[in-house]
Amino acid sequence: MSNFFAYLSRMKFINRWSLMRSVVCENIMEHSEQVAILAHGLCVIGNVYFGKNYNADRAVTLAVFHDASEVITGDMPTPIKYSNSEITAAYKNIENIASGKLIGMLPEQMQGSYNEIASDRQSGEARMVKCADKLAAYIKCLEERATGNKEFLLAESSIKAELFGYKSLELDYFMEHFIAPYSLTLDELNK
């Protein structure tokens, strides 16, 4: 019997922002869905406005599984994960081992499909997922600030700088045309 899908369903129980006080708790499953929606949107922006040829459906698939290993490892906060090259390399190795463990729970005939998803880090779609993941973190900061939570102010400014540092036409377009409403209340959105 395979535990793969049951194991992944536990993503909803792991809080993405455990070291920062959050007004709105977020789990890995919710985060992955948001990243999937954002990655799809970034791919469509790239295709429509910049003549790219992204497979937006592929980006959604990559996004859904991009943090799956965290059901085993938990989420390591970004400031720690990237504080030095040794920690970053060690954590990447741990993520790879956890990913292999998850995929190993599947019947052998299915493992190749999921290995291919887990190993795609270089495609244009994978790059859009990386952008979407960082964009989701920025949106989390905006949403927390909108509720009055100042805990995310420093993260908001540093993540915004990182987003513009990606030099992504798609991301820049999103920031210019779509980011403002994330700071609005539901009543303001409905006007």
- 47-56, 62-71, 181-190 — most confident range: 47-56
Whether 30 shows a pLDDT value over 70: the answer reads yes
Q: For position 146, what pLDDT does the model report?
A: 85
Q: For position 82, what pLDDT does the model report?
A: 78
What topology does CATH give the domain 4-189? Answer: Hypothetical protein af1432 (1.10.3210)
Whether 19 shows a pLDDT value over 70: the answer reads no
Domain assignments of the chain as residue spans, ordered by start = 4-189
Residue with the larger pLDDT of the pair 75 and 171: 171
CA dist 54 and 127 (Å) reads 10
**Mean pLDDT of all residues in the chain?**
88
Supply φ then ψ for residue 81, to 5 degrees: -55, -35
Q: Which of 3, 2, 41 is nearest to 139 (CA)?
A: 41
Q: For position 182, what pLDDT does the model report?
A: 87
Q: By the 8 A CB rule, do 186 and 178 touch?
A: no
CA dist 113 and 106 (Å) reads 10
Average confidence (pLDDT) over 38-66: 98
Angle (CA) 67 71 77, round 5°: 60
pLDDT tens digit sequence for 74-97: 777 777 777 789 988 888 899 999
pLDDT tens digit sequence for 130-168: 999 999 999 999 988 888 888 889 889 999 999 999 999
Q: For position 191, what pLDDT does the model report?
A: 80
The alpha carbon of residue 6 and the mean position of all alpha carbons in its chain are separated, in whole angstroms, by: 21
